[in-house]
Amino acid sequence: MSGLRFSVKDLYGVEGWPLTASTRAPVPDPGQSVLVRRLLELGASAVGKTHLHEIALGITGMNGYGGTEHPTLPGHSPGGSSSGAAVSVALGQVDVALGTDTGGSIRVPAAWCGVTGFKPSKDHPEYSLAGVLPLSQTCDHAGPLARDVSTLARVHEALTGTEIKAQSWSGQRVGLWLPEGWTDRPVREAVQAFAARLEALGASLSPAALPEMLDAYTPIVLNEAAAVHREALRQDEPGFTPFTLGLLRQGAALTGAEVEAAHARRAEYRAVLDDLFNQFDVLLAPAVPTPPPLTGQEEAELEGGPLPLRRAVLRLTAPFSLLGVPALALPTTTPFVGVQLMMRQAEDDRLLGLGLTLEGSKG
């Protein structure tokens, strides 16, 4: 990987570099990142750290230092939590950015910044979370963002020692998860156009259905995040922004029974997704519900009516972090609107291979 430059989301511990998690509150020291060290050993160069949505608990990029702006749309959000990661790639400052994805934190900024992002299977041995400040042990993933799938595949090949080969879309059974009213019209039309492209490559498409899973995702993540930041929360004014502090206090207030119930719902949702993968080889879904929102915007205007932005985004992306399957975020022909492709657990290589084929078929 000699010559490849990468940025590091400020949740990864890097020797000699401070770790703030983009908050003014004190945070635990996770130690040194195994994944960063591995990339350095492979010959890549780490050029700096990137800002994120405060402690990774959000999807817009806001934090205790003011937040990150969209790379080419002034006054708009780049997405989060891996906001600086996506921006550093979009601006050509680096070839690859290390991000994390707990509920969409790689895929959302990739989509809104017009780049690609890869969330590997949960507990993938080559994408170690050792030395990364956690948000949610259950849902956290480490992964890369880049301008193209070829670069993502290059990173994956270097880490795994396995060649990524382009995969044919011919005969692939694709489930289109595009819940009515969950996006605005431009996103719906962009996803439908992407689906038509897959059909042109020989895939068969049928509608797929999944429930909203935030009733499991939210209690699990907030409770685990509150445990990570337990020491800071002992202070009356720990230094988190008000919104982050409110979410952490909410997580700390959950009872054991409430968290246990959320994990039980997660198990039920896993059975639903497993059944879906008995019907389909690949799932296709929007990665975001709208184009990039304005900075500070709190609602999303969807075809089904207005909805809080956080919920509108997370209900599309959180299921695949909650359940740990690999996901690949790709741009569409509509600027700053991305889709996501998902496959069964451990089918990371095949998913990237399908992405390579799409990249090679452009035009």
Strand pairing report for 299-302 and 305-308: antiparallel
Which residue among 105, 121, 136, 321 is the active-site one? 105
The amino acid at residue 173 is R
List 299's β-bridge partners, or say none.
308
User: Does residue 362 carry a catalytic annotation?
Assistant: no
The first and second tokens of residue 158, run together, are 């270097």
Q: How far apart are CA 48 and CA 204, in angstroms?
A: 43
Which residue among 7, 9, 22, 121 is the active-site one? 9
Which residue among 7, 22, 81, 83 is the active-site one? 81
Residue 330 CA from chain centroid, whole number? 12
User: Does residue 105 carry a catalytic annotation?
Assistant: yes
CB–CB of 13/30 below 8 Å? yes
Q: How far apart are CA 314 and CA 79, in angstroms?
A: 12
User: Does residue 165 carry a catalytic annotation?
Assistant: no
How many residues can be counted in the chain? 363
Catalytic residues: 9, 81, 105
